[in-house]
Chain A
Amino acid sequence: MKSLEELAKVRESRREALKIREGVPSATEKAHVMMCGGAGCISTKCQDVVDAMKASLEKNGIADQVQIILTGCMGPCDMGPVAIVYPQGTFYRRLKAKDADAIVEEHIMQGNLVQRLLYRTPGAKEPTPKVDDIDLFAKQQKIVLRNNFNIDPTNIEDYIANNGYAALGKALTEMTPAEVIEEVKKSGLRGRGGAGFNSGMKWGFAAASKGTPKYVVCNGDEGDPGAFMDRSVLEGDPHSVIEGMAICGRAIGAEQGYVYVRAEYPLAIERLSYAIDKAREYGLLGKNIFGTGFNFDIEIRIGAGAFVCGEETALLTSIMGKRGEPRPRPPFPANEGVWAKPTVLNNVETWANVAEIIRRGADWYSSIGTQGSKGTKVFALAGRINNTGIVEVPMGTTLREIVFDIGGGIPRKKEFKAVQTGGPSGGCIPASQLDTPIDFESLTALGAMMGSGGMIVMDDTTCMVDIAKFFLDFTVDESCGKCSPCRIGTKRMLEILERITTAKGKEGDIELLQELGETIKKTALCGLGQTAPNPVLSTIKYFRDEYEAHIKEHKCAAKVCEIEE
């Protein structure tokens, strides 16, 4: 890709070919079937449906008039496998291989929707056929996952057709590096990895830092139990990450990027490396991009199974081939990151925002969200909730809207009890706080945190002591062992919880847990240790009675812990 004109040419011609996905009937093609290929739908055998559909198309002699595209995650995992059939934009769910003929022969060939496979809003009599009309989707706002419904992640031209690489072009030809940084600052974009640091400021520090060369790093080591936001982006729209990183490379003067992806995400790695190859082929990575003299390339580094490598200094250490362990800061990565050189490190979701911010402007972006937290946030809904899966909502959406309007509420008519946000670093938020508008500050104030965006919903069959134990067990297992408070302190907390949940709790155990928890938060070396006590402290804060019942009466109201005689 030697010029912006070439990019525009590809965009226009591909856009023409994809008009059917915007609802415009095509003269040559009968349908585009966008089959969700996210992790959830893969596990519910979407590939079988694809194979059956292909066979059916062959059988009916229309294979050359229908495209079946495996997309990234569409979100509603519990309904999987799901698909959208264009030009009608019909949303089908719980597909099985045996449904293939119906979709091909009834819908595609005769234009009759397959009623039994359509989505019905809980309580509604009539199905909602069009994806755009479905509540679950209508209440979301997609920036990060903007392309997940409608592109083939393995087709770079699909991405280009959806304005892909236009922002990079803009950053390279119309903006100075300082203007790019200023724009990102002004947008209010904050790191989506957990801490929520202003991304533009971070870029500014790295740009101002003296060392060379500089590096751009993407944190794809997502590891919170039940969270798969970043995975969805990498699998569904890998170019959005590549473009964001390249823009940053331009802004700070870096020519090399690394994407650190956990080894447990083989499909993400496959899609991303394919995307990197394609970007190189199209001249969107490599030397002299758009003929501007700007060079940028990306390498993938694969993790080795340590959760702590999601912590920035551990991740950078791991990239350098050393044991993945955090180190104290300063020096901050913006001054001394990979190979001790200035480095900008953001997570996948953050990177996926960047191109849209540059393309549509900081004012547009900062109009979305709350005072202190701009844009949208992707959450992974799990636990006792009807619509499990991935959602993207504007910052400031309340927990109630997410859990009940988008998430469809609690199944089996159970009572909502709490929602756990932020994974093992976060905390449990009780029903009384459901109307809190979510942003970085409000969640921290509740003793939880945004974290990377895991959201686990609990009903009255959940024991809060047990859930605290579950998360702490995870951190104890994932502690790197470098600093004493985390290595020994979290272990001791877990031992106390094990005691409490097996009728061996003692008077004073709650206070000891609090003392340990508060001290570990203040003394541990890295974010993992400093937040590890949160699940325990927040459950003590909101559900102390459950702890007391376990200790004093040997009672577990949720009947999860086997402690009663």
Chain B
Amino acid sequence: MINLTIDNRKVAVEEGTTILEAAKSVGINIPTLCYLKDINVIGACRICLVDVKGARTFIPSCVAPVAEGMVVNTHTPELIKARKLVLELILSDHPMECLTCRRNGNCELQKLAEEYGLSEIRFEGARTDYPIDDSSPAIIRDPRKCVLCRRCISVCTNIQSVQALTAENRGFASLVAPAFNERLANMECVQCGQCSLVCPTGAIVERDDTEKVWAALADPTKHVVVQTAPATRVQIGETIGAAPGTIATGQLVAGLRSLGFDKVFDTDFTADLTIMEEGNELLQRVTNGGVLPMITSCSPGWIKFIEHFYPDLLPHLSTCKSPQQMFGPLVKTYYAQKEGIDPKDIVCVSIMPCTAKKYECQRPEMNSSGYQDVDVVLTTRELGRMFKQAGLDMINLPEEEYDAPLGISTGAGEIFGASGGVMEAALRTVYEVVTNKELEDINFTACRGIDGVKEATVQVGDLPVSVAITNGLGNARKVLDKIRAGEANYHFIEVMCCPGGCIGGGGSPIPTNTEIRLKRIDATYTEDERMVLRKSHENPAVQELYAEFLEKPLGHKSHELLHTHYTPRSNYPEEEC
């Protein structure tokens, strides 16, 4: 243990602890801006400075480790003055557009300005003035609002291993942008939106598509249906002030109905359907000597990643569309026929914890119904805004049920929202389908949790099925490298683009951090346990769908509507994206 003094208090912490964390342990919260625990620890913004006795300059507490006998002061008058001036400098290069900014009220810079009570900016001069990049279907960058904290670069580089963003130019002309200041849509950006999740200001935000949805809802000629991703019910409460981990399934349904959606369906339904298709695909590959390991294909950021960085491994991907994209064509074929609605009049809206889904729904192959299968994707954050705009106290609405048939689901579909959930759901079904025996314990706990790479072996009949689960693309890369090296002896791999799985997706409420992710994961499994049915193959609506329409898993119609193909992509500006 290291002993030091912080603000006249004796503190003992483990060696290697930063001054910031040491101070936190005794209830002293030193202000920060660029710092993001475990992700961005670079000491760049100079807000977290403290006075260390004997040091020539102020010391950035977020990076400086404690030392024996160190004497630290965190709020001397000189420090407050220095922090204020640094903050004043940052604000002197920031467009004062708080009232019209997406992050108004949820901005870390705004909060600092408020806490430090800045009353004027004494510096008039040059301002950063790079154009807004709205080339991407999912992510919008406004470099004017960027404080160059580089959290986005860190998360994109170190966590996702994509490196679509980097620091460019130098000095006052510094800029965070794709290489060569290329437009995001032309680059290897996978649209995961983790950058938008960590941005302290409004410099990186999701594209807002709420107006399209408001317009559709108001159009009497349109039949507007909505699907909600598994993770959204454990996230939506946070957008209107509920504690992380709040389950709001019934309230979400009620809220969506209040907004005016004609049908409130559930992506959990097509998650169950995915298990039927993907589980059978796996069995077929194992039996017929197909390409193994097979890798899941639910996560559009992940799909774009493998297309860019590991195109040689595309045959490993399951041909199944993601649950969102299975849902779209079913609504515009099966459901439309069943209800006698002309599919051209149907507007299919998704609520997703994901920015990449906005990109996915616009992929050219995603129109197997003859129309764009999913018309608009809203992130959880955008839906939260719609509830606010509608003045809906969503969280206190009486709970309601999803509509049938595409709203009927099982716990297996629900756990798709957490890393390991797809694998666990698949194992529940594959085991019972293959062995014809009921599982004694359907909880595959080895699949759960936020560890980057998880492995398990499950005896299914005669075959020990070896599986791996990764979340965060940096972790996926490790497993892909093993496949390339011929060292991966797995049958089945689940890959989720975002850390923790979809509950930590780029469209999640802000803030999203490890602690909050864990709470959402807990909520997800609680929701699973509350379900009457917890195995995809027991979903009666799915069974009915096969009986009435699809006939059988991997059948002709399934291939037409529920399966897809992939496109190798380069890492440099593309002609089309």
Contact = CB atoms under 8 A, between A and B. Distances in A.
Interface of A: 306, 308, 323, 325, 327-328, 330, 476-485, 487-492, 495, 512, 515-516, 519, 521-525, 530
A530 B58 CA distance: 11
Contacts of A484: 44-46, 86, 89-90, 147-148
Contact of A521 (B57, B81, B89, B90): B57
Contacts of B60: 328, 525
Interface residues of B, number: 35
A481 B173 contact: yes
A495 B167 contact: no
A521 B89 CA distance: 14
B82 interface: yes
Contacts of A478: 170-171
Contacts of A522: 57-58, 78, 82
Contact of B57 (A480, A481, A487, A523): A523
Nearest to A498: B125
B172 A488 contact: yes
B93 interface: yes
Contacts of A519: 81-82, 85-86
25 contacts: A323-B167, A328-B43, A328-B63, A478-B171, A479-B172, A480-B170, A480-B171, A481-B170, A482-B42, A482-B44, A482-B174, A483-B45, A483-B46, A489-B85, A489-B89, A491-B125, A491-B126, A492-B92, A492-B123, A495-B125, A512-B122, A516-B85, A519-B85, A525-B46, A525-B60
Nearest to B57: A522
B510 interface: no
A476 B173 CA distance: 10
A516 B81 CA distance: 11
7 tightest A-B CB contacts, nearest first: A481-B174, A479-B171, A328-B43, A495-B125, A488-B89, A491-B172, A328-B63
Interface in B1-53: 42-46, 49
A483 B58 contact: no
Nearest to A330: B65
A485 B89 contact: yes
Interface in B65-101: 65, 78, 81-82, 85-86, 89-90, 92-93
Interface string B552-569: 000000000000000000
Given A328-B64, A480-B174, A519-B86, 10 more contacts: A327-B42, A330-B65, A476-B171, A478-B170, A478-B171, A482-B148, A484-B46, A488-B89, A488-B93, A523-B58
- Residue of A488, A495, A530 with most partner-chain B CB within 10 A: A488
Contacts of A525: 43-44, 46, 60
A272 B505 CA distance: 53
Contacts of B86: 484-485, 489, 519, 523
A482 B42 CA distance: 9
B258 interface: no
B126 A530 contact: no
Given A330-B64, A523-B58, A479 B82 contact: no
A534 to B, nearest CB: 14
Interface of B: 42-46, 49, 57-58, 60, 63-65, 78, 81-82, 85-86, 89-90, 92-93, 122-123, 125-126, 147-148, 166-167, 169-174
B148 A481 contact: yes
Nearest to A481: B174
Contacts of A327: 42-43
Nearest to B122: A512
Contacts of A512: 122
A301 to B, nearest CB: 19
B174 A523 contact: no
A485 B172 CA distance: 11
Contacts of B85: 489, 515-516, 519, 523
A327 B89 CA distance: 21
A121 to B, nearest CB: 44
A327 B44 CA distance: 9
B169 A481 contact: yes
A313 to B, nearest CB: 11
Given A512-B122, A519-B85, A522-B58, A306 B44 contact: no
A66 B322 CA distance: 84
Given A328-B64, A516-B85, A523 B125 contact: no
Given A488-B93, A495-B125, A523 B171 contact: no
Given A522-B58, A523-B46, A481 B64 contact: no
Contact of B46 (A306, A485, A490, A516): A485
Contacts of A328: 42-43, 60, 63-64
A523 B82 contact: yes
A491 B43 contact: no
A488 B63 CA distance: 21
Contacts of A524: 46, 57
Nearest to B169: A481
Looking at B57, B85, B170, which has the most chain A CB atoms within 10 Å of its CB? B170
A350 B125 CA distance: 41
A400 B44 CA distance: 42
Nearest to A491: B172
A326 to B, nearest CB: 10
Contacts of A516: 85
Contacts of B122: 512
Contacts of A325: 167
A479 B174 CA distance: 9
A68 B460 CA distance: 86
A323 B85 CA distance: 28
A316 to B, nearest CB: 15
Nearest to A325: B167
A324 to B, nearest CB: 9
A491 B85 CA distance: 14
Given A495-B123, A512-B122, A522-B57, A481 B89 contact: no
Contacts of A485: 46, 86, 89
A495 B65 CA distance: 36
Contacts of B173: 481
B125 A492 contact: yes
A327 B123 CA distance: 27
Contacts of B63: 328
A261 to B, nearest CB: 20
A481 B172 contact: yes
Contacts of B174: 480-482, 487
Contacts of B167: 323, 325, 481-482
A490 B173 CA distance: 13
Contacts of B89: 484-485, 488-489, 492
B170 A479 contact: yes
Given A485-B46, A524-B46, A530 B57 contact: yes
Q: For A476, A484, A490, A530, which residue has the most chain B Cβ atoms within 10 angstroms?
A: A484
Contact of B148 (A487, A492, A523): A487
Contacts of B49: 523
A512 B60 CA distance: 24
A478 B90 CA distance: 19
A330 B65 CA distance: 8
B124 to A, nearest CB: 8
B8 to A, nearest CB: 22
A487 B172 contact: yes
Nearest to A308: B170
Contacts of A323: 166-167
Most chain B C-beta atoms within 10 Å of own C-beta, residue among A306, A481, A516 = A481
Contacts of A483: 43-46
B253 to A, nearest CB: 46
A252 B125 CA distance: 50
Nearest to B147: A484
Nearest to A478: B171
A519 B122 CA distance: 15
Contacts of A480: 170-171, 174
Contacts of A515: 85
Contacts of A523: 46, 49, 57-58, 82, 85-86
Contacts of A479: 170-172
